[in-house]
Structure 1
Amino acid sequence: MEIISIEKKAFEEMVSKLNGFIAGIETLYLKGSDKKMSDWMDSQDVCMLLDISPRTLQTLRDSGRLAYSQINHKIYYLPEDVERILPVMEKKKESMKTQKQNAYG
């Protein structure tokens, strides 16, 4: 094993720079943790909330009507994006219900 000796001043300077680096990393970590994944909804949550099938959800994504983010192979949605499309989906369901009643009634 090789032993390396350095001056105390050089060692203290190195420790100070390392502490500064660590503080910078901690700051970046805290900024990133403000964007919690708990604020996001997964596909199952969205399907249940909108009362739609996974295929309909995929159609909403493919058509660009619902924004999403994909991390690895999992898809997430911002609640505000889902809330924005909620009235549209309710109106569509009501329209379908009316069409069925008119067809059979």
Structure 2
Amino acid sequence: MGYLRNDHLVTVDDLENLKEELLVNMRQIFAGRSEQPVKKWLKASEARKLLGFSPGKLQVVRDSGLLTFSKIGGNIYYDRDDLMALFEKSKVAKK
């Protein structure tokens, strides 16, 4: 699409060409991006953020055995699949 002046009319074909150019450019931009892989193991702070839990609430859930974890050194890690399973187990069916 060439340069347009204020006194030029824009046709439907012009708009279609512009749309195609934009789509091609967007595809090129997004093709160059690499998606961040989803982390399997989350630190406690990341798990709290994902669940919306306070530190105390996460501790209570962990101590009750509802949520498994791994402790390496002083850090506690949670499996993302286990966090999602906690919600699946806790679903309440609508009556």
Give the structure-1-normalised TM-score: 0.46
Displaced runs of 4 or more, over 3 A: none
Aligned to 1:75: 76
State the structure with bigger RCO (CA 8 A, min sep 6), 1 or 2: 2
- Structure 1 residue 39, shift from structure 2 partner: 2.1
Where structure 1 has 5 or more consecutive residues not aligned to the other structure, the ranges are: 1-37, 92-105
Q: Distance in 2 between matches of 1:42 and 1:57?
A: 12
Aligned to 1:56: 57
Bigger Rg, which one: 1
Mapping for residues 1-105 of structure 1, pairs under 5 Å: 38-87=39-88, 88=90
Q: Which has the higher helix share?
A: 1
Where structure 2 has 5 or more consecutive residues not aligned to the other structure, the ranges are: 1-38
For residues 46-99 of structure 1, give each alpha carbon's deviation from its aligned partner in whole angstroms, at most 9, with x where no partner exists: 1111111010000011000000000001000111100011343x76xxxxxxxx
- Determine helix, strand or coil for the equivalent of 1:66: coil
**What amino acid maps onto 1:54 in structure 2?**
P
**What amino acid maps onto 1:44 in structure 2?**
S
